[in-house]
């Protein structure tokens, strides 16, 4: 009988390359990153060609018909004639890049069956969530394996939304569900800070003190907020139907963009009322917003201003394309768009005033908001400009100059954490204390 053979490693990924890559990357991750690299080279090449074409157009313009002979005047063209030497160079770079990218994709796709199923890691999850936040909509459009699929999770693993699956993952599931919804470029594991010896998580503390069963939403934050909200509403409906025992209460604990996604989910569930409604909506008792940009974040508005400024000059116009790489999820944060009609049939990179439809807080739900400021006291100019470093106080508190946009949180349901930045909201015990005070009150008090 021949001696047993050692497990075959993938011949398709050179050992020298494997040694230079982080060990926590999956083959599918490398495949997705290779696709992004290919698209990046093509994008940069396109920008360079457009800039050179713009120069050609400006030089040729004074010579009228004679100058036009040296410029590609086809509508939508860069201006570089494909038959010329310059056009040949750019065309060759694009063709070779596509060829190399396609070959790498085929090799890596063939390597996946040899490697088998791989466990994920916090480093990998952080990498995926960051890329999805910036490029998530494009990852979906190009079927890139890096794209995150929305799911409800527990301990970083997807919950099977049937009774047996939930019972297996959550054997002590109670009648009160706490769903934690993360923000832009983040993931469900990042609700937990510290290490195994000192783990801290708001969900754990609320579970111990008030009997909640925590479940975590994991989603592609680069998609439109309204698209994520609609899908989230559907997942909550499946969760309630599959829960092992009757559900008395659902509470949503949200951070940053997660608050907008949750408001969008409520809007969608209410919109379905004519079709019998969604069962989970009647179970929703509380929503807590932490650092949510209800009325947008100024950094995205600055990004939009830069887009417009670059696009106003025909030489710098191609560089505006670089800024326009950012995802739909990010541009939704300009004013806090949470309804599909906000962006339908609109150019999301065009400078425009706030044209949102009013979206009030959901009726019949106790809504709380935690804002933060990096200042030691409330009232500094910095509060109005940046607040927690990303979201101004007024936006996090739902305040707005126009009455129809003001959310009107009850005074007792608002709290401002001082000397706290946007990410500190996830790990400060003082925040947990405030949450326990709110959720621990008897109903109606």
User: Could you please report the per-residue DSSP string of 364-396?
Assistant: T-EEEEEEE-SSSSTT-HHHHHTTTSSS-HHHH
Of residues 144 and 84, more confidence is placed in 144
Which phi and psi angles does 366 have, rounded to 5°? -80, 115
**Alpha helices, H only, 157-256:** 163-169, 202-210, 225-242
CA torsion, ordered 389, 392, 397, 399, to nearest 10 deg: -170
Residue 389 Cα distances to 122, 171, 258, 338, angstroms: 25, 40, 17, 22
- Taking the C-alpha atoms of residue 87 and residue 96, their distance in angstroms, rounded to an integer, is 14
Residues with Cβ within 8 Å of 278's Cβ and at least 6 positions away in sequence, in order, are 233, 236, 237, 269, 272
Residue 197's pLDDT is what?
Answer: 75
CATH number of the structural domain 151-296+355-439: 3.40.50.1820
The proportion of the chain whose per-residue pLDDT surpasses 70, expressed as a percent, equals: 62
**For the segment 4-47, what is each residue's pLDDT rounded down to a tens digit?**
444 444 444 555 555 555 676 676 766 666 676 655 544 544 54
Contact (CB, 8 A) for 370 and 431: yes
Residue 122's pLDDT is what?
Answer: 86
Average pLDDT over every residue of 153-169? 96
Residue 162's pLDDT is what?
Answer: 96
Contact (CB, 8 A) for 378 and 393: yes
Tally of CB atoms within 10 A around 351: 14
Q: Which residues pair with 115 in a beta bridge?
A: none
Here the tokens at position 208 are 């111990």
Average pLDDT over every residue of 251-267? 97
Is the pTM value of this prediction over 0.85? no
Helices 27-60/85-115 angle, 10° precision: 170
**For the segment 313-369, what is each residue's pLDDT rounded down to a tens digit?**
444 444 445 456 678 888 888 888 899 766 666 766 576 777 888 899 999 999 999
Most confident of 57-66, 81-90, 131-140, 418-427: 418-427
């Amino acid at each position: 009988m021949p001696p047993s053979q050692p497990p075959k490693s993938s011949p398709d990924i050179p050992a020298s390359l494997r040694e230079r890559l982080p060990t926590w990357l999956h083959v599918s991750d490398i495949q997705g990153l290779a696709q992004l690299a290919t698209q990046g080279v093509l994008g940069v090449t396109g920008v360079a060609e457009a800039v050179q074409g713009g120069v050609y157009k400006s030089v040729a313009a004074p010579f009228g018909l004679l100058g036009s002979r040296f410029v590609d005047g086809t509508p939508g063209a860069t201006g570089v004639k494909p038959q010329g030497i310059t056009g040949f160079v750019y065309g060759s770079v694009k063709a070779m890049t596509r060829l190399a990218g396609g070959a790498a994709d085929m090799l890596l796709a063939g390597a996946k069956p040899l490697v088998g199923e791989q466990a994920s890691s916090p480093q990998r999850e952080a990498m995926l969530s960051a890329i999805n936040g910036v490029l998530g909509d494009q990852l979906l459009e190009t079927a890139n394996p890096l794209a995150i699929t929305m799911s409800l999770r527990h301990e970083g693993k997807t919950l099977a939304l049937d009774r047996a699956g939930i019972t297996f993952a959550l054997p002590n599931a109670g009648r009160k569900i706490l769903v934690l919804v993360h923000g832009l470029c983040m993931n469900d594991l990042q609700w937990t800070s510290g290490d195994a010896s000192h783990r801290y998580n708001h969900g754990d503390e609320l579970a111990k003190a008030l009997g909640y069963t925590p479940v975590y939403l994991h989603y592609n934050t680069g998609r439109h907020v309204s698209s994520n909200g609609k899908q989230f509403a559907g997942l909550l409906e499946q969760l309630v139907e599959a829960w092992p025992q009757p559900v008395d209460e659902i509470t949503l604990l949200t951070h940053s963009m997660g608050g907008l996604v949750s408001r969008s989910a409520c809007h969608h569930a209410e919109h379905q009322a004519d079709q019998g409604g969604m069962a989970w909506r009647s179970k929703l008792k509380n929503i807590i917003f932490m650092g949510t940009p209800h009325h947008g974040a100024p950094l995205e508005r600055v990004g939009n201003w830069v887009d417009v400024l670059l696009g106003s000059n025909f030489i710098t116009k191609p560089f505006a394309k670089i800024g326009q790489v950012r995802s739909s999820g990010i541009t939704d944060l300009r004013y806090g768009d949470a309804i599909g009609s906000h962006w339908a049939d609109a150019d999301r990179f065009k400078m425009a005033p706030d044209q949102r439809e009013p979206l009030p807080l959901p009726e019949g739900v106790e809504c709380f908001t935690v804002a933060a400021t990096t200042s030691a006291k409330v009232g500094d100019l910095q509060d109005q400009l940046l607040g927690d470093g990303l979201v101004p106080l007024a936006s996090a508190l739902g305040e707005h100059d126009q009455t129809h946009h003001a959310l009107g949180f009850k005074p007792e349901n608002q709290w401002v954490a001082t000397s706290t930045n946007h990410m500190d909201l996830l790990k400060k015990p003082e925040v947990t204390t405030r949450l326990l005070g709110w959720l621990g009150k008897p109903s109606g008090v």
